[in-house]
Structure 1
Amino acid sequence: MKKSLFIICLIASANILFAQTKKVVADKIIATVGDKIILKSEIDNSISDMQRQNIDVPANGKCLLLEQALGLKALVLQAEIDSIPVSDEDVDADIDNKIRYFINQYGSKEIVEQIAGKSLFQLKEDFRQTFKEQKLAQGERDKIVADVRITPQEVEAYYDSIPKDSLHFYESQLEVGEIVIYPKPSRDLENYAIDQLKEYKKEVEDGSKKFETLASLYTDDPGSKDNGGRYEINRNEKTWDPIFLAKAFSLKDGQISNVFKTKFGYHIIQMVSRNGDDAVIRHILKIPQISSIEVNQAKQQLDSVRSKLVAGTIDFGQAVSKYSEDENSKFTGGRIPARDQSTYLTIDELDKDLVLMLKDLKVGQYSQPTEFTDDRGKKAVRIVNILTKTEPHRENLKDDYDKVARRALEEKKNDVLEKWFAKKIPSFYVKISDDYKSCPEMQKWETNSTATSK
């Protein structure tokens, strides 16, 4: 089994599930590991989905995908033997994240349902077993490699083994810190938002307006404005605000909530229909307007913080912990996270407003407090600084030790995993279709398999 490819198995398989929901005219079992089967459609649909995403498919792509699927099934079997814990809540959270990924990729829930030929509820049910298996396989893999560590000598040896012309080339990267304050709206503007929502509730209840019409016209939630404020929710989804969920599931069909507040603003919710822990709701969000007075007050507060930072009476991490109100960076010492979840950003990962703020800053300097709008559409004020900055360079141990060490550790874990497979495969019942017997990747599995007829 190719080491680098098996790691992809637990990640990439999550990205090919959408294709697996499509109707298959004819299907067959092409491999079995214990009581786990692998269908021809799984491999074919995976290839189709990779092509649709413009992922290069190697000539032996089907063989590699079957190899990965065999490995995953073997890990699942062992995870069941080892009683690796996987909760329904964790599985549901992964499914919800994947559904949101599809909606963002294709543009709307309706388009996703049209392409899949199924409702989102049906998609979630189709995904459940596969996502649970992925969780089990990942849990077993983590157990197998839990004690793997790496020494500086091993990191250096790994680095020396890489051909110099194959070393990564890094563009300039920055670690950017920020302290963010959200101006608080005046009580008058909060009351205005509340009164608006009370009026919307009254108009729906007296029959003069439809909830979805009002949501389309007046909600401040861009994610539901185009579909009349409609969402499909589940009581156990961790991505929803807990206050929002609690309020929604306290309602009966057709009932509209009183106005309530979350971190996003003020809401009313209408329960459309409910089935156990699943529900269809509509909601209207109003974000109280922020005036220039509140923005200037926030700027003055941050200007005071900046003075303390410049004078050295407080360090940046302490200032973040004490003053910052941004959820994403507050617990990373103020560092803005990158797409790969590290804190090293390239210029193209920064929003244009942030690029302008950093343009004249040197490492260790602090910007003036500046107003901006966050990704939820809320006004905020921030000061930023450049914590570290690298010049464009070829990978080396001095500047990139942590990155090299992570790859070296992953390779060592893969070696341990390979040894585990070599030891465990003989203990599994394995059966592989003749259609795949010519794959070199099947040799280690065929040694212990019983071939089927075509």
Structure 2
Amino acid sequence: MLLKKLQLKTIDYKLVLTMCFLFFFNSIISAQEIIKDTVIQKPLQLSGQKQKIDGIIANVGDYIVLDSDIDKAYLEITAQGGSVKDITRCQMLGKLLEDKLYAHQAIQDSIVVSDAEIRGMMDDRLNYMIQQVGDINKVVAYYKKNSVEEFKTYFSDILKEQKLASEMTKKIVDAVEITPEEVRNFFKKIPKDELPTFGAEMEVAQIVVEPKVSAEDEQKVKDRLNAIRKDVLEGSSFATKAVLYSQDPGSSPNGGFYKMTRKTPFVKEFKDVAFSLGEGEISEPFKTIFGYHIIMVEKIKGQEVELRHILIAPTVSETALKDAKERITNIRNKIENKEITFAEAARTESDEKETRANGGTLVNPNTQDTRFELTKMDPTLYSQVSNLKDNEVSQPILNTDDKGKKTYKLITITNRIDAHTADYAKDYTKIKELALKEKQITTISKWFDTKIKDTYIKIVGEYRDCNFVYNWLKK
């Protein structure tokens, strides 16, 4: 049936994207459909032999696939705590072939992956692995390499191939657009008794008041950072100072160390200062949304900067918190007394720039829509709104974010949507998303059909008996 087919395809598509875009945890998941009649299981054995000797089992353009690559893919899954019991060697080979074709075509399309990007990926991955096992030598032994350098060379090639595949997939998917007419036709194709059901949702708005940090408290932080800067210029260790004083949990244990390029997702103010310094220079204290920083640049390698930084945030005094609570209580009283609407108060009184312009309405970060499905809502937000009645304004809520920043906020529910069968007018955004995914799946499938025909592909031995999703054997 159409909807069931759509759901199956959607699942497959998500797996494809996950495999192509995920580089940090590298959880290798099969993007093949379930193969019911698979000949080859793990381990692969030949008649009269205990086990097949490793060798080339497939070529895709200039790339090769070794029999051991399948074993390494299984190893990656188990290393991340995944289960491999339902993944056959044929499925794993199909996934590897897809990645090779993506990477091969990325090179043909002149997609460039810089060495700086690969080094950044390498550092992220190695840091994660070392956190898990405690020693890089254990990582090297786990991958059966003879030295750290041999492992890094091997791993660098893998990461480059993954990045090429990721960029190629993104290029294909980003080019897919869908018109309102296509969305309408997609919806019309679904039989009425197979229309999806969407869960209960709500739309939420908030007003945020930030406690004001006094100029005196801000100056204290700048003076402290200037004193640290002076000590470093006179010979003290910046790394030691970062360990002792920096309030950045992501870097202080490592002496405030970061590697970054202009594409690294740091706030603009931080990147502007980092890329304005020369090697060995230390910045003056500067401000971001997180507090005040100083940066010392250690090395500049092309487009990549290696730096250390110290972050110290001004302390919010109890007096500032009390004043913020009093201010937000007055705002609530005005709303309750009908002197101003919640939306008007958000536009004129809220300190949250992201929601102020649209009357405080929150945007779901997962869907970029204003609706929040109750079963998928952030637990903290759900606990704050679950007992509110329609148009009721919460009491002032003291909120502490993951960086320790404290604010007061008011929350209200502006709309409730009960669980219901899909309605074209009411659920256009969701239906458009489903229609777009179906078109993306079709586009990817057509891309594979075309590129397989135009690319040198060879599969040898028993793997030619596999039932692949795509026509790798060009039958």
User: Does the C-alpha gap of structure 1 residues 100 and 327 become closer, same or farther in structure 2, counting only changes over 3 Å?
Assistant: farther
Paired residues for 1:7-406 under 5 Å: 7-15=14-22, 28-57=55-84, 59-75=86-102, 83=109, 86=111, 108=131, 111=134, 116-117=139-140, 127-143=159-175, 145-147=176-178, 150-152=182-184, 154-158=186-190, 160=192, 162=194, 170=199, 173-207=201-235, 209-229=236-256, 231-303=257-329, 306=332, 311=338, 313=340, 316=343, 324-326=350-352, 334-338=361-365, 343-346=371-374, 349-352=377-380, 354-390=381-417, 396-398=421-423, 402-403=429-430, 405-406=432-433
CA distance in 1, matches of 2:208, 2:123: 30
Q: Which runs of 5+ in 1 are unaligned?
A: 449-454
Deviations, residues 23-68 of structure 1 (Å, cap 9, x unaligned): xxx9644322333434444433332222344444464533223323
Partner-residue secondary structure (3-state), 1:446: coil
CA distance in 1, matches of 2:118, 2:372: 26
Which of these residues, 414, 434, 447, is aligned with residue 474 of structure 2? Answer: 447
For 1:50, the aligned partner's letter is I
CA distance in 2, matches of 1:267, 1:443: 52
User: Does the C-alpha gap of structure 1 residues 256 and 80 become closer, same or farther in structure 2, counting only changes over 3 Å?
Assistant: closer
Q: Which runs of 5+ in 2 are unaligned?
A: 1-7, 29-52, 141-147
Partner-residue secondary structure (3-state), 1:441: coil
Q: Is the 8 A contact 2:295 2:308 kept in 1?
A: yes
Deviations, residues 123-158 of structure 1 (Å, cap 9, x unaligned): 677523421232123312443x43576344532543
Q: Is the 8 A contact 1:179 1:334 kept in 2?
A: no
Give 1:191 deviation, angstroms: 1.0
Q: Is the 8 A contact 2:201 2:373 kept in 1?
A: yes
Partner-residue secondary structure (3-state), 2:169: helix
Give 1:351 deviation, angstroms: 4.8
Partner-residue secondary structure (3-state), 2:471: helix
Aligned residue in 1 for 2:455: 428
Deviations, residues 167-223 of structure 1 (Å, cap 9, x unaligned): 6784x544433333333310110111111112222333334x533333223222122
Partner-residue secondary structure (3-state), 2:211: coil
For 1:396, the aligned partner's letter is T
CA distance in 1, matches of 2:237, 2:402: 29
Question: Which stretch of structure 1 is more off in the superposition, 374-383 or 9-18?
Answer: 9-18
User: Does the C-alpha gap of structure 1 residues 63 and 110 become closer, same or farther in structure 2, counting only changes over 3 Å?
Assistant: closer
Aligned residue in 2 for 1:452: none
CA distance in 1, matches of 2:197, 2:77: 25
CA distance in 1, matches of 2:459, 2:261: 42
Question: What CA RMSD, in Å, does the superposition of the two structures yield over aligned residues?
Answer: 4.3
Give 1:7 deviation, angstroms: 4.6
CA distance in 1, matches of 2:16, 2:135: 24
Aligned residues: 428
CA distance in 2, matches of 1:183, 1:235: 34
TM-score by length of 1: 0.75
Identity over aligned pairs, percent: 27
User: Does the C-alpha gap of structure 1 residues 404 and 87 become closer, same or farther in structure 2, counting only changes over 3 Å?
Assistant: same
CA distance in 1, matches of 2:125, 2:335: 40
